[in-house]
């Protein structure tokens, strides 16, 4: 280890001791992985990572993802020692550390920037929220895809604005989770040579030795994925680690997978070299023993020896500062020569939209036969994407069904290893990985969408939940939104999925009733900065309502609106519906009105948007004095009671669906005009 210096050893041991002290003080956490991986992370950050601690949102920075999020103190120690600055919500770098020594002392405590697992938007320098194993690794694939597309879109001769690399540090748990396999398979197919995963092969999990459940040849698996696979036999060997990372940088035809053998705990054989060290504090006696082993003052806590911070400043700090300054100089010249592209990049970085982004959104003419909302969504998507060049995405092998293909010349074609310019991504049958990959795209300020059938949102729910937790504006396009799928049967008919998505805090779910509600839904969600949104769209045609007879579709912006009313004064009964059931309720409204029953019809495409309105507006749509109410939706009834009240009725699903033609399925489950009318009359009778 000829390249290892005393300052290297001192810095590595500082990372280790900060980690063990923080876990011990919190009496909670995972000390083993940070201690075992300290040399790996140190080598990467101090010698290789192109990252400016003074500007942690520099667009061309290398990305470091700690997929093994339980090792969070490893990252927090690095952020502190490298003096990474905090960035505020206005993208301004503040003159304060993202992770101070006091924050480390408050590890896992309320309101600290050092939560148990790293959280994006909470602590600058954390590139994505990790915790569920495998997620970070999969997100890194999205970051690498973004890097390749950004380079193709923005780079010009003499102006290489984007050439960053993406590093993910993953453990055995990440390798066991299926999401990492899905993502790695796609990364290998796309030949993402800007992507490097470092695998901590420590052979320990919470249950005990990995041999209890995990004996496959991981290296061979990644060779089969067409990755460049390297081996480092000792995590403490800085020279071998540096050679492997140099080999990654030299590879230009595939991603790199570095297998690093490590011992959990403090890097030397001990009784603590066990699963206990993985998930529990070491205890004061063990900590003293570890510090003694490092030649460390045994009774010192949270010690950063003199020279360590200066060492990081002279390494990653100086290197990153120079690279960032040169990039800014290059970008200033780029703005002179390519002002339109420079403006695009600046808009992207602030998650803003270009002027005229919605100018080509179509208006749909009234049509009783109508169009499926998945089809109208495809038209709107293409109209918007023409004017938002960084809007890109795809489907999990369902592009023809979800109508998500960008067909105009500037975006057409498929993003593939031989052409990174197109904006159509082919995720394959990999819903789980798709969810994480679009998160990675968003972290790099691309505006991404991912699509599949609504019933398969279950496969990507963990990634959707994390998008909501991270407050990033992902667009999910879910089609085949109800039992209207018909013959495909209950395996493909979503019943509980709308309720499940609505249960995720921060996710906006919109189920439009016709083509013009689709257009308005897109107009709403494109303006989100910190909210993911899910569109639930129909397979079957839905009538396009005549908006000269019915209220304007711009009511979608408020989540729920009065589509048709009884005239002057309060109604006798209110019908509430979303999606395809609005057309059903239109017919019921007409019949009830013809019978002299004062009926209000409310289209409720989005609970979240409606609940966000002021009380006065909500009461104007659903007057508290009108207790006779009927909600209609082809899904479980969960949640509708807050709109129909304690005495109202909800016509929904109480079982799974059935395999039969559409009209037969709807008749079988009671989604008919007669049943809606009957329910409305029953409500009137009960209300007296």
Phi and psi at residue 494, to the nearest 5°? -70, 130
Task: Rounding to the nearest 10 degrees, give the CA dihedral for residues 282, 283, 289, 293.
Answer: 30
Phi and psi at residue 331, to the nearest 5°? -70, -35
Cα(581)–Cα(481) distance, integer angstroms = 11
Contact 83, 309 (CB under 8 A): yes
Task: Rounding to the nearest 10 degrees, give the CA dihedral for residues 100, 105, 107, 109.
Answer: -110
506-530 CB burial, b ≥16 within 10 A, e <16: ebbbbbbbbbbbbbbbbbbbbebee
Phi and psi at residue 146, to the nearest 5°? -60, -45
Cα(259)–Cα(244) distance, integer angstroms = 10
Q: Which residues contact 56 (CB under 8 A, 6 or more apart)?
A: 84, 85, 87, 93, 98, 124, 125
Cα(71)–Cα(83) distance, integer angstroms = 19
CA nearest neighbour of 55 among 345, 322, 346: 322
Cα(552)–Cα(558) distance, integer angstroms = 12
- Active-site residues: which are they? 431
Helix axes 238-250, 32-43, angle to 10 degrees: 60
CA nearest neighbour of 540 among 370, 294, 372: 372
Cα(281)–Cα(23) distance, integer angstroms = 6
Q: Which residues contact 150 (CB under 8 A, 6 or more apart)?
A: 161, 162, 444, 446
Residue 217 corresponds to which tokens in the numbers above?
């040849």
Contact 575, 397 (CB under 8 A): no
Contact 481, 578 (CB under 8 A): no
Residue 484 corresponds to which tokens in the numbers above?
């209207």
CA nearest neighbour of 124 among 53, 74, 69: 53
| Residue 533 half-sphere exposure toward CB, CA atoms < 13 A | 26
Rg of the Cα atoms in the chain: 28
CA nearest neighbour of 148 among 128, 162, 168, 138: 162
Cα(320)–Cα(343) distance, integer angstroms = 24
Cα(301)–Cα(280) distance, integer angstroms = 18
Q: How many residues are recorded in the chain?
A: 688
Q: Which residues pair with 452 in a beta bridge?
A: 478
Cα(197)–Cα(65) distance, integer angstroms = 9
Residue 502 corresponds to which tokens in the numbers above?
């609505």
Q: Which helix (H) or strand (E) holds 477?
A: strand 475-479
DSSP 386: T
CA 93 remoteness from chain centre: 24
């Amino acid at each position: 280890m000829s390249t290892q210096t005393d300052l290297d050893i001192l810095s590595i041991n500082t990372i280790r001791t900060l980690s063990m002290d923080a876990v011990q003080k919190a009496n909670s956490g995972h000390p083993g992985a940070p201690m075992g991986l300290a040399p790996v992370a140190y080598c990467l950050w101090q010698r290789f990572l192109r990252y400016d601690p003074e500007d942690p949102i520099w667009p061309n920075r290398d990305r470091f993802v700690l997929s093994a999020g339980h090792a969070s103190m490893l990252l927090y120690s690095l952020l502190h020692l490298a003096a990474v600055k905090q960035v505020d919500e206005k993208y301004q770098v503040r003159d304060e550390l993202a992770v101070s020594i006091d924050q480390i002392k408050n590890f896992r405590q309320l309101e600290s920037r050092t939560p148990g697992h790293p959280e994006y938007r909470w602590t600058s320098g954390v590139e994505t929220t990790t915790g569920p194993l495998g997620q970070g690794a999969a997100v890194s694939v999205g970051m690498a895809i973004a890097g390749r597309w950004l380079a193709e879109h923005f780079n010009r001769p003499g102006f290489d604005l984007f050439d960053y690399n993406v590093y993910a540090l993953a453990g055995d748990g990440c390798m066991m989770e299926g999401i990492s396999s899905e993502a790695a398979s796609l990364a290998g197919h796309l030949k993402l040579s800007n992507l490097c995963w470092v695998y901590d092969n420590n052979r320990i999990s919470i249950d005990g030795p990995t041999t209890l459940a995990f004996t496959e040849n991981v290296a061979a698996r990644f060779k089969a994925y067409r990755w460049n696979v390297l081996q480092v036999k000792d995590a403490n060997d800085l020279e071998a680690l540096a050679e492997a990372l140099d080999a990654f940088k030299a590879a230009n035809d595939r991603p790199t997978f570095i297998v690093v053998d490590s011992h959990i705990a403090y890097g030397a054989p001990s009784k603590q070299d066990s699963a206990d060290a993985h998930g529990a504090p070491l205890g004061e006696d063990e900590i003293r023993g570890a510090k003694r082993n490092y030649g460390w003052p045994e009774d010192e806590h949270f010690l950063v020896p003199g020279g360590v911070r200066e060492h990081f400043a002279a390494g990653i700090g100086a290197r990153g500062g120079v690279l960032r300054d040169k990039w800014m100089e290059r970008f200033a010249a780029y703005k002179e020569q390519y002002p339109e592209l420079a403006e695009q990049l600046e808009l992207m970085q602030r998650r803003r939209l270009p002027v005229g982004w919605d100018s080509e959104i179509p208006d749909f003419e009234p049509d009783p036969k109508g169009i499926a909302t998945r089809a109208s969504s495809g038209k709107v998507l293409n109209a918007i994407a023409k004017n938002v060049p960084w809007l890109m995405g795809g489907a999990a092998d369902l592009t023809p069904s979800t109508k998500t293909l960008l067909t105009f010349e500037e975006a057409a074609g498929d993003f593939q290893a031989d052409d990174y310019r197109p904006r159509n991504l082919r995720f394959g049958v990999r819903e789980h990985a798709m969810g994480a990959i679009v998160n990675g795209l968003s972290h790099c300020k691309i505006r991404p969408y991912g699509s599949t059938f609504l019933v398969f949102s279950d496969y990507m729910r963990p990634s959707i939940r994390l998008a909501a937790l991270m407050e990033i504006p992902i667009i999910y396009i879910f089609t085949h939104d109800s039992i209207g799928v018909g013959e495909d049967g209950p395996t493909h008919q979503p019943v509980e999925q709308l309720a499940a998505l609505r249960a995720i805090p921060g996710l906006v779910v919109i189920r439009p009733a016709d083509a013009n509600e689709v257009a308005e839904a897109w107009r709403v969600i494109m303006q989100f900065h910190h909210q993911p949104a899910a569109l639930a769209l129909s397979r079957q045609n839905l009538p396009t309502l005549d908006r000269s007879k019915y209220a304007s579709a711009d009511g979608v912006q408020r989540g729920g609106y009065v589509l048709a009313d009884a005239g002057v004064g309060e109604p006798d009964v209110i019908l509430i519906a979303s999606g395809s059931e609005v057309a059903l309720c239109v017919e019921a409204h007409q019949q009830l009105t013809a019978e002299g029953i004062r009926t209000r019809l409310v289209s409720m495409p989005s609970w979240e948007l409606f609940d966000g309105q002021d009380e006065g507006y909500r009461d104007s749509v659903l007057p508290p004095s009108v207790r006779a109410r009927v909600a209609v939706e082809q899904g479980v009834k969960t949640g509708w009671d807050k709109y129909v009240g304690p005495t109202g009725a909800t016509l929904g699903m109480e079982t799974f669906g059935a395999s039969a033609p559409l009209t037969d399925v709807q008749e079988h489950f009671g989604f008919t005009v007669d049943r809606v009318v009957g329910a409305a009359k029953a409500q009137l009778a009960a209300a007296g």
